[in-house]
Structure 1
Amino acid sequence: MIFRLTRDPSMRWLVPCACLLLGACTTGALNEVSVRTDSESVEWVSKAKPLSADGLSNELVYAFLLGDAAARRDSAVTGARSMAKAARLSRDRQVILRAFSLSMRAKEGALALEMAQLLQTLEPDTMQARTLIAQALISLDRPDEVFDSLLALVQAPQPGPAGAFQHIAEVLVRQQSSDHWLSVLERLLAKYSDLPEAHLAVARVAHRAGNLPQALSRIESALDLRPDFSEAAQAMLGLLREQNKLEQLRVFAEDFLQQHPDRGVVRLLYARVLVQLEDSERAFYHFNQLVLREPSNPNGLYAAGLLSLDNSDYVTGENLLVRHLKLRPGHDQTRLFLARLERERGRFDAARAWLRQVTDPEHYLQAQLRIAYVFAAEARFDEAAAHLAEIVPDSVEDQVRIYLAHEELLRDAGRLEDAYALLNAALADLPDDAELLYARGLITAQMDILDVHERDMRRLIELKPDHAHAYNALGYTLADRTTRYEEARVLIEKALALKPDDPFILDSMGWVHYRLGNRDQARDYLQQAIDLRLDPEIAAHLGEVLWMMDRHEEARSVWERGESIDTKNKTLRETLRKFVK
């Protein structure tokens, strides 16, 4: 029976004003203000003394408070206009910026432009003032003036043309109509065609606009101008990954890194892509190269350490992860992986020592649960249970996790009666908890207490009508343990509609068709299931169907594949005893 309820997180890994204070205001108290935005009038409600603000005119204070209060009451236009008046009167930088922001939010482009220009009179040489002018002109849809404002940004002494193009790209990609401004940026590029950053800026805006060929062309131009341009190489990797051009991505990355081996960020990005593509051997090579070239690179140390652990290279993994921890002493996730490493090589005391060092609230409960799993790995089940009993949960969710961890330890120890009793007590404590109902449903199916199993699964379906695995569990049980095959098929069909690519639900659908005598359909579903996930129980089912279709060699081959995953799987062992004498 294939129901998956993975509870040990160690098996899951791999694969960023109340009220603004006026600069001139040093004393005074601001009292309650209410705003009637329909008439744009202000009612002052004083619970103490009348409003006073030393050094400020009443007109300025009034305009500022009206603008701020109106903005917080979602009267955007009133807020923008009043705050702009306060900005004119105060000529205070923070008030001007607030007025600009409110004007943009209210779609008052002309007012936003006035505020940006006012800031520029105060700060004629700052990039921020020039940027705000460009943003206001963009909101007013004035392409020629936008071009002039962007050109002024590029020609300014700071941050220089390269930095300015990067900044311009960041501004334009945030626009809803990036494609509308792409031609303006191309005009600017014509004046700086020898600048790699200019080509990359166009590439980023083209990508945001959905023009992938233009993006690719501009990235290539940037790399032609500067072959070791790390940012352009990163953009190329991202674009090729997005288009699923995997072979082209590999060729580009390997060639780039061979020519420019010191480009660590590119190597790190490529290695992560290789992990996604499940090419762990090549990924480890590049992570390791990164560590060799940059021994204090925490990202490289961490990733290489995890891959070493995944490949059971415990000595290398320990060395890399310990080095990472020295650089990042607060990174408790590393301690969790070091504990897993020690557990896998049978050093249980060392595993618990690492887990007891975890103090980060995000990982603390996980570490405590794993201490119990380590005790269980030594068959010290009473100590595991005692440790779980000592954990103080911070929430109902934490209590459920503790109950489920305890139940899993009992179930894995073959103590089904104790696990059943625990879940009964847990559900008395937390009635109708979905996870606990599902867990008890799995236990009762194993124990052949089918009336409780059906009751729990139907209650779970009532509570969560989109719980695909509840439909599947009940459907599979009815198909496997009863003759209610049609009812089972309907339930599994509902599960499959909710999760069409789930290998275990596909397995259930194949199994119910086998029970119904539809062997061809059974084989098709089971083949889909095993193609998605090589699992010993799926292999047992597919092999049985093939055997009954007189395709004995194919059946034996499937069973052998299942044994390569788990030679002790109960369902597979029983199937082999049944058919292979």
Structure 2
Amino acid sequence: MEELVQGASQHLQRGVELLDANQPQAALAELDQAVELEPGNPRIRYYLGRALYLTGQYEKALEHLTTGLPVAADPSAFGLIMGQSLIELDRLNEARSALDGAAALRPDYPPIQLQLAQVCYRAGNVDAALQKLAETAELAPQWTVPRLQAASIAAEKGDAATAAELFASTLDINGDLPLIWVRLGDNLEANLDYEGAIQAYRSAIATSPDLLAPQLALAYLFFNRQQFDDAAAVLAELLQRVPGDPQVLLPVGEIQMIEGQHEAALETIQSALRALERAPTTTLQQVGAQRDGLRLRALELQAKTLTNLDRVTEAEAAARTLLAMNPSNLDGLFVLGTVLLRSGNQEGRGHLRRFQRLSDVREHRELAYDFYRRGRDPDRAVAEFEKALVIEPQDAATLTGLGTVRLAQGNAAAAVELLAQAREAGAASVEWYREWILALHAAERSDEATQVWQQVREAGVTLGPRVWAALGNHQGAC
């Protein structure tokens, strides 16, 4: 027996060391051997539960934690990991019970309070989650995690000002977090504080000079502000480091095009297209754009540059490629219409008329979203969406937007009808899935809503606390 205990102790020690080294998978091998040798040891059960939680094996983690809990020297530690596992399994009422039990044994312990905030967030009670995170931050003034989580929730809600304040307070604690400087910059930019955003991005660069994200963010900010000289300076430095990165090449090419350097622009844009064709998606450092979006933008710039160079045949081919990818692409329609007319082909007039119609649709749609999100005026938003639909009745984005507003107004039947039309028109965005699920639920078609939600979750897509609150059946969890 003594040899078994000694062997278990050795495996436990190695397992704990591997966990401390952030190697939970390797720790499992040691801890599995330890528990076979000494199944009644609660410390082994605890660390095995932690390792299983960290490797995403939540049910197994609960089995070992439940076994060890009755004889644990520190039941609150067990309750914390059990609560975290139950949160991941979406069993929020059980998670709340486990965490409340842990909190009773260890009052005001920040990690437990943090997980209670997560329960509220997952249950859809965002305000309660933010309140709990604020309390946790007071309990642990030098701990950045509760502030970061609160900042992320504020950003998700569209409250850029509050998000910026929380990111800034995090950086007051620890300024050596370059990606948090970037997030601060992003939210300051969203709140139209451009000088503050520039300073935040520069702080990120100073903190981590080798990180591309803040330099790309700074370059794009300058570009979007039409400060082309400043953008070009940042991009030139980036090109020295990553000469083939399409995210750098594309704004360089666009600046060259704007400045009338069309031959140079075309060469730069085609270099970006070649890089996109040969580079695996995982090698691209993404800043707000996916690979397909980068390729689409490159093709748009190529088509416009070829038009500027009066290379009509090539421009027509580029425009047709764009429209094959997206029949409603405005740049593709404009370029194709323009070059066809230059060649004397009157078919171009039809493409230009469609370009004008879709431009008007986009203008009405953007105004509608502005009324809805910024002005909090759903009636005026509806009027603008309806104007867009008069022009283009099957526009998926407009149908989705109008369905969203109708749902917010409490008209679930109208929302379901509009969102179904949007789906037939090709809608497949995260926004569409979220509003479709919520509309089905509001229309008392909960079984269908749950089925769609399950499919979306299996695809790894998160739809946010509104869906959890509606479908999670977590009454009393927060």
Aligned to 2:420: none
Q: Counterpart of 2:176 in 1: which secondary structure?
A: coil
Q: 1:426 aligned to 2:318? A: yes
The 8 Å contact of residues 301 and 320 in structure 1, kept in 2 or not, is answered as yes
Aligned to 2:264: 386
The 8 Å contact of residues 86 and 94 in structure 2, kept in 1 or not, is answered as yes
Provide the C-alpha distance between the structure 1 equivalents of 2:319 and 2:203, rounded to a whole number of angstroms.
45
Once structures 1 and 2 are overlaid, which stretch shifts more, 430-439 or 329-338?
A: 430-439
Aligned to 1:30: none
Q: 1:341 aligned to 2:237? A: no
| Matched AA of 1:275 | A
Query: Relative contact order, CA 8 A, sep 6+: which one is greater?
Result: 2
Q: 1:369 aligned to 2:261? A: no
Correspondence 1:69-88 to 2 at 5 A:
none
Unaligned runs of 5+ in 1: 1-116, 139-144, 155-160, 456-472, 481-502, 515-522, 533-581
| Matched AA of 1:216 | R
- Distance 1:249-1:396 versus aligned 2 partners, 3 A rule: closer
Provide the C-alpha distance between the structure 2 equivalents of 1:274 and 1:330, rounded to a whole number of angstroms.
29
| Matching residue within 126, 130, 142 for 1:246 | 126
The 8 Å contact of residues 34 and 44 in structure 2, kept in 1 or not, is answered as no
Q: Counterpart of 2:238 in 1: which secondary structure?
A: coil
| More helix, by proportion | 2
Provide the C-alpha distance between the structure 2 equivalents of 1:528 and 1:341, rounded to a whole number of angstroms.
33
| Matched AA of 2:222 | E
1:269 CA drift (Å): 1.8
| Matching residue within 121, 144, 149 for 1:264 | 144
1:199 CA drift (Å): 0.9
Provide the C-alpha distance between the structure 2 equivalents of 1:194 and 1:121, rounded to a whole number of angstroms.
20
Aligned to 1:404: 300
| Matched AA of 1:388 | L
The 8 Å contact of residues 142 and 173 in structure 2, kept in 1 or not, is answered as yes
Provide the C-alpha distance between the structure 2 equivalents of 1:507 and 1:419, rounded to a whole number of angstroms.
37
Q: Which has the larger radius of gyration?
A: 1
1:120 CA drift (Å): 5.4
Aligned to 1:278: 158
1:289 CA drift (Å): 0.7
| Matching residue within 69, 91, 115 for 1:235 | 115
Aligned to 1:216: 96
- Distance 1:251-1:126 versus aligned 2 partners, 3 A rule: closer
| Matched AA of 2:215 | R
Q: 1:174 aligned to 2:57? A: yes
The 8 Å contact of residues 154 and 163 in structure 2, kept in 1 or not, is answered as yes
Q: Counterpart of 1:329 in 2: which secondary structure?
A: coil
- Distance 1:146-1:303 versus aligned 2 partners, 3 A rule: farther
| Matched AA of 1:174 | Q
1:234 CA drift (Å): 3.9
Aligned to 2:423: none
Aligned to 1:148: 39
- Distance 1:204-1:336 versus aligned 2 partners, 3 A rule: same
Correspondence 1:465-476 to 2 at 5 A:
none
**CA displacement 1:240-299 (0-9 Å, x = unmatched):** 322221121122122222343222022112211211111111111111111122222323
- Distance 1:254-1:418 versus aligned 2 partners, 3 A rule: farther
Aligned to 1:483: none
1:197 CA drift (Å): 2.1
- Distance 1:405-1:249 versus aligned 2 partners, 3 A rule: same
Root-mean-square deviation over aligned CA pairs: 4.9
| TM value normalised by structure 1 | 0.48
Say how many residue pairs are matched: 343
- Distance 1:309-1:507 versus aligned 2 partners, 3 A rule: same
Correspondence 1:150-165 to 2 at 5 A:
151=42, 153=44
1:200 CA drift (Å): 1.0
| TM value normalised by structure 2 | 0.56
Provide the C-alpha distance between the structure 2 equivalents of 1:294 and 1:251, rounded to a whole number of angstroms.
22
1:318 CA drift (Å): 2.1
| Matched AA of 1:351 | A
1:307 CA drift (Å): 1.6
Q: 1:186 aligned to 2:66? A: yes
- Fraction of identical pairs, as percent: 15
Aligned to 2:427: none
